[in-house]
Amino acid sequence: MMRRFILLSLWLLSDLALFIASYALAYFAKVGWIFSSDLPIGDFLGVVAAVSPVWLLALITTRTFGLTRSQGTVRNAAYIAYACVVGAALVALAYYFVYAQVFSRLILLTGLVVSAVALWLWHLVFERVARTVLSSNPPAYPTLVIGVTRES
């Protein structure tokens, strides 16, 4: 029971960190490795961090965080892409309404693509890690054989 809780908590927190890091990478890919006065990094990442829990809620509603769910399916990739589109829309709207400014659509598009690809790859890696941890001794989901009694 505790292993599942710890794995799920780490998965959720790592997805939040990866979402924020994706938009930070998109910022530096567009602006360069300097800090722009037109689009301050603190303001931008503050908005990204503020909308990230709502984005995570959108990702949770797609049921991508099932520990026994296959993360390599096309449907799961589509769910992650959908949540990343929602995240990009939230970032754009929040930044506009907080600072009354429009910023680069290229940063937004880059953040969307980087976050979708990075999250899907991370989910593939985390699936392997979770299955290894959950199947270690004693297994969290032991095999049930139908038709066999304990006496046999």
Please answer whether residues 30 and 107 qualify as being in contact, where contact means their C-beta atoms are separated by less than 8 angstroms: yes
pLDDT digits (tens, 9 = 90+) for 4-58: 888 889 999 999 999 999 999 999 888 877 776 777 888 889 999 999 999 999 9
Question: CA torsion, points 62, 64, 66, 72, in degrees to nearest 10?
Answer: 140
Report the run of H or E that residue 41 belongs to, with start and end.
Answer: helix 41-61
Spatial distance between the Cα atoms of 34 and 38, rounded to a whole number of angstroms: 12
Report the run of H or E that residue 125 belongs to, with start and end.
Answer: helix 105-135
- Amino acid, single-letter form, for residue 48: V
pLDDT digits (tens, 9 = 90+) for 93-148: 998 888 887 777 899 999 999 999 999 999 999 989 888 887 777 765 656 667 66
